[in-house]
Amino acid sequence: MTLSGKRILLIIGGGIAAYKALDLIRRLRERGVVVRVVMTAAAQEFVTTLSVGALSADHVFTDLFDRNDEHDVGHIRLSREADLVVVAPATADLMAKLANGHASDLASTVLIATDKPVLMAPAMNPKMWSHPATRRNRATLRKDGVAFVGPAKGEMAESNEAGEGRMAEPLEIVAAIEALLDISPKPLAGRKIIVTSGPTHE
């Protein structure tokens, strides 16, 4: 099996790692994935809806109270039509909102409304990642069934900052998506296995 035909709802949070979401969309589309995108207001400070829409070949959703998108309760439709919801980058703010049940914008409302698996790719400053509040939120989310990929260790966008907090690379996120959707190749799938007993010696 492949990812072809799978539907991913990608939520892009507001962090410098948002630029990696562009490559993630491209990698998913190369594999035949249908990608729909929700962008937070902060995400739009880092990448444009124009570039995201061009790569996803679809409308980009940004506003909970958009008259066109919400005429049929669009946030519920978005949350239910996907096979998987991916949050990349998953900021400390988005993690906190979901862990504490807040639904103050389109992204957080979709996350609260979904009945599909959720995969988060955290990205933030190492101090933010190691903060007790973020740790508590991550533990809560994992207990609630949210899956995580990353973060990795390395240099940060800020000068002289390094540590754990870099968003996982797009191909790592793709691999995590494949694992969550259970599409990894199974060599014996579909084959009959016949077990026979050999001669016995007494």
The string of pLDDT tens digits covering residues 156-184 is 666 666 678 899 999 999 999 999 998 65
* DSSP per position, 101-138: T---SHHHHHHHH--S-EEEEE---HHHHHSHHHHHHH
pLDDT at residue 70 tops 60: no
Residue 38 is predicted with a pLDDT of 96
How much of the chain exceeds pLDDT 70, in percent?
81
pLDDT confidence tier of residue 25, bands split at 50, 70 and 90: very high
| Residue 127 structure tokens | 């101090």
The pLDDT of 106-122, averaged and rounded, is 94
pLDDT at residue 63, as a whole number: 84
Residue 81, pLDDT score: 87
Residue 47: pLDDT band with limits 50, 70, 90 = very high
pLDDT of res. 71: 44
What is the value of pTM for the model shown?
0.83
Cα distances from 33 to residues 36, 54, 116, 169, in angstroms, run 10, 15, 16, 18
pLDDT, residue 52, reads 96
Determine phi and psi for 49, rounding to 5 degrees: -65, -30
Question: What are the structural domains of the chain?
Answer: 7-180 (3.40.50.1950)
Spell out the residues 6+ positions from residue 43 whose beta carbon is closer than 8 angstroms to its own. Answer: 12, 13, 14, 15, 18
Nearest to 7 by CA among 70, 58, 43: 58
Q: Does pLDDT of 10 surpass 90?
A: yes
Q: Does 149 have pLDDT greater than 70? A: yes
